[in-house]
A = this chain, B = another copy of it.
Amino acid sequence: MTKTDFCVYVDERRALIDSALAGFVPPDTQEPRLVHAAMRHAVLSNGKRLRPILSLAASDLAELPRERAMPCACAVELIHTASLILDDLPCMDNALERRGRPCVHVAFGEATALLAVMGLVALAFELAAREGNQEIAACLARSMGTSGLVAGQQADLALTGNGVSLDAIEQVDNRKSGALFIAAVHVPAILAGMGHSDTDAIEVYARNLGLAFQITDDLLDANAGHEDAGKDTFVSQLGVDGAHNRVKELIAVATGALERWDARAEPLRMMADYVGARS
């Protein structure tokens, strides 16, 4: 697969995901209109769609039909979007803009932003339940709850720049990004009936990719002079070069986990290269 092939692959899937999301989130002409408008504002933005693309790529690997893969791929993106709305609130990061547009609480008020969060999470579990497999809802719930995303967000609030250990930062980042990256590949693995050993391998891939992604995010912030001086990150602890090296290591482990697969894993390999090269 050439870089151009990969760009086409990603663009095609992003378009399919955008269109599926636009169909899943109710229109803002339907009551409660304000909440639906807030949900659409948050979801139908210029997102990278990394998690659902990852989910579709894992579905291709597992030979899971697109129509069975899509609702769950979108469910992961909806939970991710809900967590971004929370992250941006005044009591969290107090952000005003995301992806070049006003944050949901700025555009719709905090109360409606919170109801949009609940609406998105409910929709995610409704989509997950369509697949007739309760393991999917269980997997999503664990990745969102206090053993996953929520744990990462809480620990993130506590990283106050007092020089915690690299292990502690890695744990936070693993949960913040890793949990939904892992869910994105685990859900199609469950649906396709993938064996334990293959499922373990693709989870190793996703965990390392998620952590690498989080560090490249920190590196991009640092490059742009946006780093939060009050926060411990890989960059604050290892320096820019050290963080770059860590990303390389993680990408190597992620790619190594794909060795058991042939050309079908090529999009996943290219995705790892993309994450490795983005900072």
Contacts and interface: CB of A to CB of B under 8 A. Distances in A.
Nearest to A38: B154
Q: Which of A121, A135, A157 has the most CB of B within 10 A?
A: A121
Interface string A80-106: 001100100101100000000000000
Contact of A122 (B92, B117, B145): B145
Interface in A111-153: 111-112, 114-115, 117-119, 121-126, 128-138, 140-142, 144-146, 148-151, 153
A35 B141 contact: no
A72 to B, nearest CB: 12
B115 A154 contact: yes
A112 B154 contact: yes
A111 B141 contact: no
A139 B126 CA distance: 8
Given A31-B151, A35-B151, A157 B125 contact: no
Q: What band does the interface of chain A fall in when counting residues whose beta carbon is under 8 Å from B?
A: 35 or more
Given A114-B91, A118-B150, A154-B112, A134 B129 contact: yes
B145 A123 contact: yes
Q: Which 6 A-B pairs have the closest CB atoms?
A: A122-B145, A91-B110, A129-B138, A32-B154, A126-B141, A125-B141
Given A31-B151, A123-B141, A129-B134, 7 more contacts: A32-B146, A32-B155, A35-B151, A83-B118, A112-B157, A115-B154, A121-B144
